[in-house]
Amino acid sequence: MGDQSDYFNYQDYQEDNQVEYDLLSDIFPLQDKKVGGRKKTQVWDYFEEYGEKKHGHCGCICKACNWKRAMGKAYEMVDHLALSCPRVSVEVKQIFLEEIRKRSSLKLDHLPPSNNDETATKKVKIIQKKITSIFESDEIEKSKIIRCNRALTRLF
């Protein structure tokens, strides 16, 4: 048979491969994989992330008062800072109250303009259909009674 230099030497291969890897890592430093999705809003400046990400959301803890949520949804965090956080500054409350105001005005943009200044809830109540307009009333029309009676007499 041939001498040992004809055979594949795994140790030499491993050393050569390591040198190549070191050269590549100098040229292209390893970077963390960028996470896709929507960018975080400014509300996250006042919260810390905790826990695992589930359905695109991770938990959050308020930096001011340690209020926790298992799923940190931005609108809940904004509501907390603007309406119920006892330790956040007045300026921060004002910023997020304005954001809530803008959010609620966006919901009402599809409504027709009204002449007087009503609250948003009253506007929704005026346009909202009544349940009785969708379903039939308890009273039966005479024409329906006559048709039902004719159908029953034919049946028997």
Q: Residue 151 pLDDT more than 70?
A: yes
DSSP string, 69-137: ESS--HHHHHHIIIII-SSS-HHHHHHHHHHHHHHHHHHTTTSPP-SS---HHHHHHHHSPPHHHHSPP
- Per-residue pLDDT for 82 more than 60? yes
List the domain boundaries for the chain: 42-107
Residues in the chain: 156
Which among 4-8, 28-32, 78-82 has the top mean pLDDT?
Answer: 78-82
Q: Coil, helix or strand for 47?
A: strand
What is residue 117's predicted lDDT score, i.e. its pLDDT? 53
Q: Does 122 or 96 have the greater pLDDT score?
A: 96
- Calpha distance 54→57 (Å, rounded): 5
| Predicted local distance difference test score (pLDDT) of residue 47 | 94
Task: Give per-residue pLDDT as tens, 86-121.
Answer: 999 999 999 999 998 888 777 665 555 555 555 555
The predicted-structure confidence for 11-57, as pLDDT tens digits, reads as follows 665 555 555 555 555 565 655 556 667 788 899 999 999 888 887 78
pLDDT at 77 over 80: yes
